[in-house]
C-alpha cells in the first residue's frame, strides 16, 4: 500500500537553482497539501489543493508554486531556491478535507539550499 509517495527523499541545491518536488497519492483523495517543517518547529502549510484544478495559498507561500496535475499528483516548485527554504517538506492528502479528516503524510523530502 503506497499511500502518499514523495520524491526525492533528499536534495541539495545551490542558491538560485530551481527544482520540483513530486507527490502522488493512490487513495483517491480530493485534497492535497504541502507543508514545511523547520528544526524545532511544527509543520506550516505552504499550499493546498481542495480538489483537482484548484490551488490556494497557505501560511508560507512565498517562493513556491504548485501544480495539481490531476487528482493523484500535486507538485511543489521552487523557482529560485534560497537558503531560507532549507527545510523538510511533507506532502499530505485527505479524502474531502473535512473537519474531522486526518491527513495522510508522505515520508518527507529533506532539502538543503547552500
Partner 1 sequence: AQKITQTQPGMFVQEKEAVTLDCTYDTSDQSYGLFWYKQPSSGEMIFLIYQGSYDEQNATEGRYSLNFQKARKSANLVISASQLGDSAMYFCAMSGEAAGNKLTFGGGTRVLVKP
Shortest Cβ distance from residue 15 to partner 1 (Å)?
A: 25
**Contact status: 100 vs partner 1 (CB under 8 A):** yes
Shortest Cβ distance from residue 12 to partner 1 (Å)?
A: 17
The owner of cell 516548485 is 77
Could you give phi then psi for residue 85, rounded to 5 degrees? -95, 5
Distances (CA, A) of 18 to 21, 29, 77: 10, 28, 7
Distance separating alpha carbons of residues 68 and 43, to the nearest angstrom: 21
Shortest Cβ distance from residue 21 to partner 1 (Å)?
A: 15
Touching partner 1, residues 12-71 (CB under 8 A): 33, 35, 40-45, 48, 50, 56, 58
63 vs 108 by CB, closer to partner 1: 108
Distance separating alpha carbons of residues 28 and 64, to the nearest angstrom: 25
Binding residues for partner 1, rule: CB under 8 A, are 33, 35, 40-45, 48, 50, 56, 58, 88, 90, 92, 97-105, 107-108
Amino acid at each position: 500500500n503506497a499511500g502518499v509517495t514523495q520524491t526525492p527523499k533528499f536534495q541539495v541545491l545551490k542558491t538560485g537553482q530551481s527544482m520540483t518536488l513530486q507527490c502522488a497519492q493512490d487513495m483517491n483523495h480530493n485534497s492535497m497539501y504541502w507543508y514545511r517543517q523547520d528544526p524545532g518547529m511544527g509543520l506550516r502549510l505552504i499550499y493546498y489543493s481542495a480538489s483537482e484544478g484548484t490551488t490556494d495559498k497557505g501560511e508560507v507561500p512565498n517562493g513556491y508554486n504548485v501544480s495539481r496535475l490531476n487528482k493523484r499528483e500535486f507538485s511543489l516548485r521552487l523557482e529560485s531556491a534560497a537558503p531560507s527554504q532549507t527545510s523538510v517538506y511533507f506532502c499530505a492528502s485527505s479524502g474531502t478535507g473535512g473537519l474531522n479528516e486526518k491527513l495522510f503524510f508522505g515520508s518527507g523530502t529533506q532539502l538543503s539550499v547552500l
